Structure 1
Amino acid sequence: MKRLMLLCVAMLAVVLLAGCGGGEEKTAGEGKVLEIGSISPLTGPYAADGNDIKNGALTAIEVVKSEGGIPGFSDITLSSQDSACDPRQAVAAANKLINEEVSGVIGAYCSSATIPASETLAEENIVMLTPASTSEKVTERGLKYMFRTCGRDDDQSKAAATFIRDFLKAGNVYIVDDKTTYSQGLADNLEKLCPEYGIEVLAHDHVNQGDKDFSAVLTKVKAANPDVFYVSLQNSATGALMLTQAKRMGIDAEILAQDAVYHPQLMEIAKDAANGVYLTFGYTDKESESYKRFLDAYKPKYGDPGAYSAYAYDSAMAYLKAVKQAGSADADKVRQALLDMTFEGASKRIDYKSNGDSGSNYVIQVVRDGEFVNFWDPQTGEKF
């Protein structure tokens, strides 16, 4: 009887030990599943961009799996969580992914969601790569496992100021933002640069997230009669409403927007009101082999790419390449592999620096005949 009891205790101990080690077994070892997560707004006003991010990450996984996967892992899965661009919901999404024992996260979209979510993930040593959050604060907090594939607000603001001064030859600007971390941060940066660039800021006004009637602020813009109307809003749907109402009101100014309005739905909603609008966005060579490879995998399943589809694809691809190079999903090994690698991505050349940034390459695009077209390079001062 004693021997039987000892055997039962020993067997129970084995079961308990196996259960305690489950998290590590799911992400390391021969034949295990590599589980990664994504955080982005899958519902609400930013859902178009959020689903683009999810789909970009899924496309990278599909491409890697079609090429034989990653040695040591039998499968790669993605758990997509909805942030709704809300800080509290983003933290809840991060905690859910932690409970699911993911080893890396792609996201988020809004900087106001990425910042708190990344702090939660950092506590568990989980690598995070954002394809869309441009606030400088994302990579200036010293988080060891935080990486950014897109550019930064301060660099985007310089591109905008250079365009206003050197190409448009404009003397003044009227700035409007929607008070989000991203939009206001970008607008604030431009306002600070304007005196240095010889540009007068006639006013810096604000609207609220979710507003649909912009007549009050647009009345002030029209009365000011600016050379340039700078629109810094969090998404393309809101931007489309602003453009439509500005055209209807007869505002006669060059309109310059930013990367958050870069989405096919801008033209779908605004139609003719979008034509001739300029915006800052990272340069992507759509004739490159890496972009064509991405497009061939993405478009049949998800349609035309959105603003951050390629950046999300590159973020996920970088993570998967790093796991393969490291031979492990261990955070420190993956981090080092990310810092060591360079490759031609779909969106840009990927080369992460020690602070997690990958550099900025902003150019000016213009909406022409319902499409975004590369227009002017701030680095060279030349048209494309």
Structure 2
Amino acid sequence: MKRITSVLSVVLVLCLALAVTAPAKTLKIGSMSPLTGPYAADGNDIANGVRAAIEMVKKEGGIPGYDNIELFPQDTACDPRQAVAAANKLINLDVVGVIGAYCSSATIPASEVLDEESIPMLTPASTNEKVTERGLPYMYRVCGRDDDQSKAALKFMTDQLKAKSVFIVDDKTTYSQGLADGVEKLSEAAGIKVLAHDHINQGDKDFSAVLTKIKQDNPDVFYMSLQNSSTGALMLIQARRMGLKCAILAQDAVYHPQLMSIAKDAAEGAYLTFGYKDKSTDAYKKFMSVYAQYGDPGAYSEYSYDGAYALLQAIKKAGSTEPEQIKKQLESIEFAGASKLIKFAPNGDSGSNYIIQVVKGGQFVNYWNPATGKFY
């Protein structure tokens, strides 16, 4: 009896030793966004959205076969070269998927590098059409597209603002200039006179020169296509001080809570195009249950959460981290996300649902739906 007990004791000790010494298996995913610099607010929102998705998946039982899910956030600073370096770093870290980037000018070159290694990339914020038009098999987009956003802007200008003229300004980035070019072409085709299409530089603080031109030309609409909300806030402040009376229409990159915290009353009445979000849904409430610890969601928090959740669910359903198996599951996935219904088309897009919002009482308020022509 003593011998049996002794043997069992040895077996138990060995099992405990193996349990203690066995290395934990970690599932690694990456994110890419500007964590420093002028776009850091949106970039950190993206990283926090991924963190929230990881927490939710852990609450739901995690990924079988893995003890932990770890995020490796990389700073792209919206710089193409830094984005490529970040992509290479994530490859060396053996991540199985990447959520990012923010700027299209960073996403496009980084995705080329990741695609060479068959690593899925899901962007929550890059809206330039080229992102999903290059035929990269592992490139997905959770947000909408600029060609759809420009159509929403045009419909609002024609149907509601009854605009006859527009003055367009962008900051020369791949995203903002591409979107502005689209608005210009559509406006001309619709008979709206484009008085000018001017440009500023990233990092500019004084916009008096271009705003003086706008005031002199007196357009019906000032279309503001900028890469971030802080620049948009400064431009709104200076536009109001200069006494611009025209309607001001901006786009999704200007959409961020800090627009109001910086511009304050100067932001009141500004219109923006942004994807419709229904905050009354169970999916949105589920998202907020894990995201609230990071504060109010930013422009792309929900999109990054949905992208990360889709990636992790694809891995869970595949029971594998093999790229082809993840891709197969991403192509068939469909769920109600925090931002919208998540379902990917063969080219990697997930559809656009742009509406017009207005700043009212220091808040973004749903205003008009171009698809239905109805006010909220």
Cα displacement (A) at 1:68: 1.0
Provide the secondary structure at the position in 1 that maps to 2:67. Answer: strand
Provide the secondary structure at the position in 1 that maps to 2:107. Answer: helix
Instruction: Give 2:54's match in structure 1, choosing from 61, 78, 93.
Output: 61
Within 5 Å, which residues of 2 pair with 1:170-209? 170-209=163-202
Within 5 Å, which residues of 2 pair with 1:5-44? 32-44=25-37
Provide the secondary structure at the position in 1 that maps to 2:112. Answer: helix
- Equivalent in the alignment of 1:110: 103
The C-alpha deviation readout for 1:55-83, integer Å capped at 9, x for no partner, is 00000001111111011221111000000
Contact 1:162 1:197 in 2 (8 A): no
- Matched letter for residue 304 of structure 2: A
- Matched letter for residue 279 of structure 1: L
Instruction: Give 2:359's match in structure 1, choosing from 351, 367, 380.
Output: 367
Within 5 Å, which residues of 2 pair with 1:305-324? 305-324=297-316
Within 5 Å, which residues of 2 pair with 1:1-384? 32-299=25-292, 301-384=293-376
- Matched letter for residue 86 of structure 1: D
Cα displacement (A) at 1:196: 2.4
Cα displacement (A) at 1:198: 2.2
- Matched letter for residue 71 of structure 1: P
Provide the aligned C-alpha RMSD in A.
Answer: 0.9
Cα displacement (A) at 1:33: 1.4
Rounded Cα–Cα distance in structure 2 between residues aligned with 1:161 and 1:172? 12
Rounded Cα–Cα distance in structure 1 between residues aligned with 2:330 and 2:113? 21
Contact 1:39 1:93 in 2 (8 A): yes
Contact 1:271 1:370 in 2 (8 A): yes
Rounded Cα–Cα distance in structure 2 between residues aligned with 1:59 and 1:98? 23
Rounded Cα–Cα distance in structure 1 between residues aligned with 2:349 and 2:317? 20
Cα displacement (A) at 1:31: 6.5
Rounded Cα–Cα distance in structure 1 between residues aligned with 2:349 and 2:107? 14
- Matched letter for residue 222 of structure 1: K
- Matched letter for residue 349 of structure 2: D
The C-alpha deviation readout for 1:168-221, integer Å capped at 9, x for no partner, is 111111000000000000000000101222211111000000000000000000
Provide the secondary structure at the position in 2 that maps to 1:45. Answer: coil
Rounded Cα–Cα distance in structure 1 between residues aligned with 2:331 and 2:137? 11
Rounded Cα–Cα distance in structure 1 between residues aligned with 2:192 and 2:155? 10
The C-alpha deviation readout for 1:284-314, integer Å capped at 9, x for no partner, is 1111110111112111x20000000000000
Rounded Cα–Cα distance in structure 1 between residues aligned with 2:325 and 2:348? 15
Cα displacement (A) at 1:32: 2.6
Cα displacement (A) at 1:375: 0.3
Cα displacement (A) at 1:324: 0.7
Provide the secondary structure at the position in 1 that maps to 2:37. Answer: coil
Contact 1:173 1:200 in 2 (8 A): yes
State the number of aligned residues: 354
Cα displacement (A) at 1:122: 0.7
Rounded Cα–Cα distance in structure 2 between residues aligned with 1:368 and 1:105? 36
Rounded Cα–Cα distance in structure 2 between residues aligned with 1:296 and 1:165? 40
- Matched letter for residue 112 of structure 1: S
Flag structure 1 segments of 5+ consecutive residues without an equivalent.
1-29
Identity among equivalent pairs (%): 70
> TM-score of the superposition, structure 2-length normalised?
0.93
Which portions of structure 1, spanning 4 or more consecutive aligned residues, are displaced by more than 4 angstroms?
none
Contact 1:149 1:357 in 2 (8 A): yes
> TM-score of the superposition, structure 1-length normalised?
0.91
Rounded Cα–Cα distance in structure 2 between residues aligned with 1:293 and 1:371? 22
Rounded Cα–Cα distance in structure 1 between residues aligned with 2:375 and 2:343? 26
